[in-house]
Structure 1
Amino acid sequence: MPRFSIIVPVFKVQGFLAECLDSVLEQSYTDLELIAVDDCSPDGCGAILDEYAARDPRVRVLHLPENVGLGRARNAGMPYATGDFLFFLDSDDTLTPGALRAIADRLDETADPEDPDVLVFDYARTYWWGGTRRNVLARVLLEAGDGTFRAAEHPEILELLMVVWNKVYRREFVEREGFAFPPGYYEDTPWTFPVMLSAERIATLDRICLAYRQRRQGNILSTTSRKHFDIHDQYERVFAFLDSRPQLASWRPYLHRKMGEHCLDILSKPDRLPESDKGEFFRLTAALFRKHRTAEPVPRELRVLEGGFTRYRAQQQADRLGKELGRRGQQVRKAAATRVKRGWSAVHEHRSPDPNLAVYSAFSHRGVLGDPAAVYHKAREIAPHIRGVWVVRGEEEAALLPDGVEHVLLDSLRYRQVTARATYFVNNVNWPGTLVKRPGSVHVHTHQGTPLKYMAADLLNKPGARHGFDVPQMLRRADRWDYSLVANRHSELVWDRAYPCHFTSLRSGSPRNDVLVRARPKDGSAVRARLGIPADHRVVLYAPTRRDYARGGHIDRIDLARFADDLGEGHTLVVRLHPSLADGPARGMGLSELHRRKVVVDATDEPHVEDLMLASDVLVTDYSALMFDYANLDRPIVLHTDDWGAYAASRGAYFDITADAPGHVAGSYRELAWLFASGAWRDEDAARLRAGFRARFCEFDDGRAAERVVRTLMLGEKAEEPAPAVPVPAQAGHDVLASS
């Protein structure tokens, strides 16, 4: 008996069907059966299903003699299911890689004393134009906790999208309760509410297991039709179910409200109902609302159902007018505020800069981070007369600032006042285009590390990589730079070419790397303790970068659970995604769930990456600039470069990192696992490669970079250029731009 019976109703999806079936049959977890129900599809779906069944004995195909609709097609497949759990997958959607393994593991985790009745997992919408958006209520899954619960104990679970395909169901529970799908549109409604309210044990999985395809055309519920009137019958079935289960009577007010909200939402959509049918739909909705009304007060937004359709239309028009007036009022207020700010700036733009005022920002105004933070802290130490003010995006970032840090909000009047008077501007990205460089000001650009991939003007020949970048505007903003900080000659050459602007390169070293150069053996202990890592564990830091050849930038190149398992006892795998991926769906593809289960440590939100480097024993990365900083620690670095050809072709690279690597290079996961299993990751060859890499790319990092910047650029002292931190090997003198 398989663990999962996956039932796939099929109708007019021949363009998407193979992708759907492959996403199931190519899962790493194979204990499944796939029951495909051909709902008398008039296209080539039936033949496609038969081909798959001929190739894979796990596939069973039912050909229905007539079209019965989505719900009843699912019903047709259920009697043939033999698995422990039912999974209803729509034939244009897909499972994400590793989804079934994650679901099975979560079920096993919560199977004491018995399996859950329902497991709810997460999903992401994937749009026809290539975009991806995670379920906006994903937090509900995390907040539900590690155990099981009833809906009454965590009612927020019912706020998730009430569909059938974001859950798996214990088959014995479904059969015992006699659940089945009704005919018509919105067939998920009278299935999902009864199931969720009846379940004694509900579990959640905070992982994106399904890609919910948003088709440009062909979505049934986005089709204009009188079939949307089916919603009334479906809710009648829900209330009939409540009538048959007196113990669930307390849910009636909640379902009464949900019914009103759902019907009004359908009515408000421009593509659901013919205009001539909207009055009738409203009247039927109002009648249903009155019929099932409870003693609970009617929510304000639903009181419109107590009046007539004319009143409803008037309310709709009033709401639209109110929103429009509010939008225009906001525009007027914003324009007035902008005029005030510009006027203030114009009045003060000719005033002499304050020689004792410095303005800092990092990573698009996210906080006290990176090189600017190192310069700021050193200035407070050796130039305390220079007042430092940080620019942050908003109140959320301001709340995270350390105590005693003066700040202004971006584009506020206070921001205009400070930037109008400051002498020193320190940033690792460009300042907004609205900031005017005033005579006498000093702009210091720190960059964000040593460049491997193409940057700025070099992207002009890489149209895919510069998608979303306005290179000419980038260069106009870079024209304000006075100084560009460099940690090595490679960076100096790259920045001179990538930014054809009038600035002076300062061979200062990278200020943020001072802490790495001066690292002591115990410096990472506090970070390890905070992250819950045993003191005696070897810490492997995995820091992949984003991919320009993939929309959204994220591709899972390594099975993290497998890697953590292969590392074995006494190891902790710490994962840090690229900051640009922190708020997208990347973590929901498995990382968050693995962190919850303590399989790995997700350190993506750690603000100071230097702390993670100090806490680790070895770095595993692909093409992240983090490797150049990490080399200062003189600890092993292993590269996983299984897509180097695609990466270099799409983004462009200044040299071949697989040939000039900081350590051993793995061209596949198998090679990566072998390097760690054999111990080769830290052998003599690894040390030799690392020494050559450090000599070339840590040349000016001597632990005094921040001090050098402050003394040279703020105090006007003459500072000696740093001596090479490591002797430069003779073979390392080739042209870094030759491959450009």
Structure 2
Amino acid sequence: MTLLSLVLPAYKVQGYLRECLDSILDQGFADLELIAVDDRSPDHCGEILDEYAARDPRVKVLHLAQNVGLGEARNAGLARATGEYVWFVDTDDTLTPGSLEKVARALREQAPDVLIVDFERTYPIGRPRRSRLRRTLAAAAGPNGADLRARPGLIKSIHTVWNKIVRRDLLAQLDLRFAPGWYEDVSWTYPLLVGAERIYTLEEVCYAYRQRRQGAITRTVNPRHLEVFTHWERAWELIDRQGGRADPVRPVLFARMIWHLMQTVGNADRLPPNLRKHSFLRTADMFARYLPTGGFAPPRGADGLRYRLVSRRAWRPYAALQAVRRAQCRMRDALTGQRDRPGRGGLGLLARAYYRLQLRLPLDPNLAGYAAYWYREVSCNPAAVEQAARGLAPHMRGVWVVGRDATGAVPAGTAHVVEGSRAYYRLLARAKYLVNNVNFPDFVRKRPGQVHLQTHHGTPVKAMGLDGQHHPAGEKHNFAALLRRCDRWDFSVSANAHSTEVWDRAYPCAFEALETGYPRNDRLARAGATESAAARAALGIPADETVVLYMPTSRPEPGRLPPFDAPALAAALGPHGLVLVRGRHVAAASGASDQVRDVSSHPAVEDLYLAADIMITDYSSAMFDFAVLDRPIVLYAPDWAQYRAAHGAELDVLAHAPGPVVRSLPELVSLLRDGRAGEQSERRRAFRERFCAWDDGHAAERVVRRVFLGEQVTPSRLPAAMRARSVAS
């Protein structure tokens, strides 16, 4: 029999699911089965689970026909479990390295009914913090491995299921299943602990519990918090079925119940104001109903006062006490949050006053403000969206923001304002729509009714957003300020499923993901031989030349660029070869000749893509755009290990490379000389299947219809024949 069955229900956790699965499967522990339950998740969870199951026989996937909720999804997974023990893992959490061996050793040596492990809490920003379980266990007198009667203090440990590994036979013996609704852990954990004869505790951190900004029910104001009462009633019903086992610990269970219910009563972060008195009176009813025969002695201090007020149904004094506690919390938060207050973004007094005045005036429902790359140019996804809006939403007036140094490069006829001008502040304050491929400055205030569209500007390879905070390149960033900026987003454009997963995790904010493909790639998806020939003609490139485009990713340390010799590459291509170099530092180092050209200042990178036969890059998102053309891509990656260590990685780009991978300059020269750049076309096909599936030439249209016209748009995957087509054909 398999030792351990891990049951993982998945619903709307696409950004965290891979990390969770990897934390289990990469430990190399074989004596397990992983039963993943796709609870009819509307995102990519089901696809991710199937992907893992296809490559690891330990993974079994159950796709539910309809969404049933966390409790029922766990039940469905439990029904498929065959292991001696069961561990219910939440799929936005992770297991710590080495935890499976520690758990397995404890299970084999101690043979417990229930194994409780310690955990740590991880936060969107900052380092993990270990739980207080050690303190609870220290206060729980009695031998490790005894039951609740010998160690009643265990009742005060956290009631969640994910830090408890349970003998599967015991669950069958107690007929213990999860009930539907919020707080389903309550009506499962306490009957389980009462019924267990051997409860062993492992004071080692084996589980990392993620404190999410979005999606956690404890951070949600909702009447469903009242379901906690139903689960406590069910818990007592199941406990009473076990006869007198609970009698010695009934006072401790009762105290735990009232303490837990008071976490909900009057809690401004959970219940709307009109239900707080109702929840208090219901707690008082539970107090009277389940009060132990021998009575109950409240603790000392403020908590004891709250218990007494509940027992007397004294709502007004209780509400007043809660109001004082909330005021104290607000004062504490105000004092501790001084260092993290939003800045003014360098605004002067007059500019700030003018901007605030404009904020008081009505929004213009037909005005859209566009920006790209920190106001440096008119380009990328915002430019493609604006172009599509001209035809699909002609009532919309688009105005661009550009910096003072960029005004000379604004295309003729493009309406624009200059950063820092009065018109600039008017646009930011009055435009109904603000579109950008980066964030607007900190001073920009999101107005009620205003819509922010974040288009992004690449498929992520290096660690992005919050994912970068634990890597050297991100150590000095202000991630709290980053989240405030991202909280303004209403929509986030995604090029592919990989990007959608990353944006969900790296920017945990309440935006709607638009998995439409990148608007800027519409031109590439629609292009054919005629467009490629026109791009070459515009650049003065003869039709018979073999053109290589070298586009490495930008690095903050130009001196650490990998060695590159453009003339040597040009010579390897022969007399009709041309190397285009885009990247100022690498172009300056390469020099120029008849066969080497610096194209770093060319305004439209799409022209270069269309003109090139082959791309050479390293970790740049340019490869995902160029792949739309289905032309050879070579990854020149001599410093991948160093780059990944400094910047982190959202993708193992070498494992998913769209073509040959070379590690040295001589190897790269040899590859071009021998004409092998087009090898490994199967890798390119798989790359396009995964990262270019939405690039059908209509991405900008989908964005405009959803954002500006309010239509629901769901793209369908392109037929394989269309994805595999060659632009040159």
TM-score, reference length from structure 2: 0.50
